[in-house]
Amino acid sequence: MLSKSKFILGQQCHKSLWLSTKGFEPTNPMDESSKDRLRAGDQVGDVAKELFPHGREIEYLGSDFQKMCDLTSNAIDAGETTLYEASFIEKGVFIRVDIMNKTSKGWDIYEIKSSTRLISYHKEDASLQWHILQSVKGLKLNDAFVVTLNNSYLRDGDINPAKLFTKHLLTDYVESNLHEIEKQLEDIKLVSISNNEPEVSIGAQCKKPHSCDYLDRCWPKSTKENNSVFNLYKLNLDKKLDFYNQGITSFEQIKPDTKLSLTQQNQIKANEIKKPIINKSKIQTFIDSVEYPISYFDFETFTDAVPLFDGQRPHMQMPFQYSLHIQKDAKSNIDSDKEHFEFIASIKEDPRRAIAESMLQNIPKSGSIMAYNQSFEKNCIKSLADHCPDISEDLLALNDRFIDLIDPFRSGGYYHHEFKGSFSIKKVLPAVCPNDKKLDYKNLDINNGLMASSAYKKMRGLSEDQRISMRKKLFAYCWLDTYAMYAIYIKLLEIVKT
C-alpha cells in the first residue's frame, strides 16, 4: 500500500522512495529543527479545524487502514458534513484528507500547510488527493484548496482562524494535473514493488523540496572535501552539478578560463598553498571603523507557526536570549566574569519587552556594537522597537552603532581553506583560532541557533529543574557566540600587526 507521503517522496526521487520502502536506515535522519517543523505542522492542523468547527475526526489507527476508511464512510453515510482526517483507499493508495467540508455543490477538500506561502509540492500533494478521491464511489467533489498561514496576521487576543489562514483555490490546477498524476502513480508503484534499487544520479532533487534522508549514501565523500566544487563560495547548486556532471569534482580540475569571483579565486588559491590569503588593508579598513568600548552582541530567537502572544505573526523571529561581552579599550582583555551580560526570557510570557529593557540597561551608551552577520540582529531590534514604542527610539539608536565582523572576511581580507566556502562563525572560528577547547562549539550540548530555538521552546513543557539545566546549556552556547567574536577580532588585530 502506498501512502501520500511515499508518493511525494517518489516524486522527489525514485531511489529515495525505494530505499525508504525497503526499510533502509536513513544516513541523514531528521534533525531536531526538522522535527520541530513537523510538530508545528500538527499544531497548525489542529488550529485549522476551527475554520470548520464541530467536525468529525477520523481517529488515527496506525496500520489499520481499512478501519479508518470504514469509519470515514460510516461518518459520511451518517450525514456528517465536516470531516477531519477523512481516510480513503483507492488505486492501492491510502490517503487522509486534512479537512473535507460538504457544500451544496459537493465536497471541498483542504490540505493544511504550516508554511506562509504556497510551494509547488503542496500543489502536487493536493493533486494526488484529488486524483484518489475522484475514484471514491458516490463522493461528489467540488473544490480543492491548499491552506497556508498568513504571514501578515498579527495576533490580537484569541486566534482568528479566518484571518490566520490563506486559502488557495487549486481546483483548475488539480483537474489539469490528473493525467500526469496517474502516470507518476503508476511509475512510483512499480518502483515501490521492485527488487532492484533504481539508478539515480545525484541532482537538485537531493535537496529540494526536502533534504533527502540518504544524502551520505549517494553523495561521494569527496563532495565534503575542502577542494570540492560543491564547496565553492556562493555557487548555486545547479552550477555545482554542472561541474560534477562534466567530471569536474575538485578545484584542480576547474579549467583556467572559468569565470570565478574574487572569493572563489582566493578559495582555490588558499587551498592550493594551504595557507590563508590575507589582505591586510581590507582588514585594517574594518579595524579603523571600530570604536571602543566594543559590545560583542548576539541574539537567539524562536519562531512559532501559530502566534502565542499578541503582536506576534506566524513564524516571526522572536528574540528570547542575548549574550554581550564588553571590551573597554584596545589594551584590555575581556574578563568574562565582570564584562559579560546574558539574558534568557521567562518562557511564561512574551520575551520581547524584558529582553529589550535588559539590553538597553547593559549595552554601553557609546562604542561599536559588533555582531556576526548584523542584519539578523538589526532586524530583531527593529521588531523589538515596533513592539515597544515607548523605548523604540533608544532601541533603534543601537542599530546605528552596529558593525559586522563578517565584513573583513567577506570583503576578501582573510580566506582560510578550512572555511570551505562559508563565512559562518562556525567555520571561521576553528580556522582562525584552532586548537582551543574553550572556543570549540563541539564541546557544547547546544551548538547551533536552530538547536537553541528548539531547546527554548522545549522548556515550555519541562519541570523547573529541567528548565534550569536547559538554561545553563543555552547560556553556554550564546556565551561562546560573543566570546568567539572577541577571539576572532583579537586575531585580526594580530594579523595586521605582523
Q: How many CB atoms lie within 10 A of CB 31?
A: 13
For residues 415 and 192, give the distance between their C-alpha atoms in angstroms, rounded to a whole number.
47
Q: How far is the CB of 222 from ligand SF4 (least distance, A)?
A: 15
Q: How far is the CB of 76 from ligand SF4 (least distance, A)?
A: 38
For residues 40 and 46, give the distance between their C-alpha atoms in angstroms, rounded to a whole number.
10
Q: How far is the CB of 306 from ligand SF4 (least distance, A)?
A: 31
Contact 148, 115 (CB under 8 A): yes
Q: How far is the CB of 198 from ligand SF4 (least distance, A)?
A: 8
Q: Where does 311-452 show beta strands of DSSP type E? A: 318-327, 340-344, 369-371, 402-404, 414-415
Q: How far is the CB of 426 from ligand SF4 (least distance, A)?
A: 24
Kindly tell me which of 121 and 173 has the beta carbon lying closer to ligand SF4. 121
Contact 280, 495 (CB under 8 A): yes
Kindly tell me which of 215 and 450 has the beta carbon lying closer to ligand SF4. 215
**Cell numbers for 212:** 533527502
Kindly tell me which of 121 and 376 has the beta carbon lying closer to ligand SF4. 121
Render the burial of 370-384: b for 16+ CB within 10 Å, e for the rest: bbbbbebbbebbebb
Which residues make beta-bridge pairs with 341? 324
Residue 419 is classified by DSSP as: G
Chain residues binding ligand SF4 by CB under 6 A are 13, 15-16, 200, 202, 205-206, 212, 214-215, 218
Q: How far is the CB of 73 from ligand SF4 (least distance, A)?
A: 37
Kindly tell me which of 147 and 212 has the beta carbon lying closer to ligand SF4. 212
3-state secondary structure at position 340 = strand
Q: How far is the CB of 21 from ligand SF4 (least distance, A)?
A: 12
Could you tell me which residues come within 8 angstroms of residue 377 by beta carbon, excluding any fewer than 6 positions away? 297, 298, 299, 369, 371, 402
Kindly tell me which of 6 and 15 has the beta carbon lying closer to ligand SF4. 15
Kindly tell me which of 202 and 487 has the beta carbon lying closer to ligand SF4. 202
Kindly tell me which of 200 and 496 has the beta carbon lying closer to ligand SF4. 200
**Helix axis angle, 178-193 to 4-12, nearest 10°:** 90
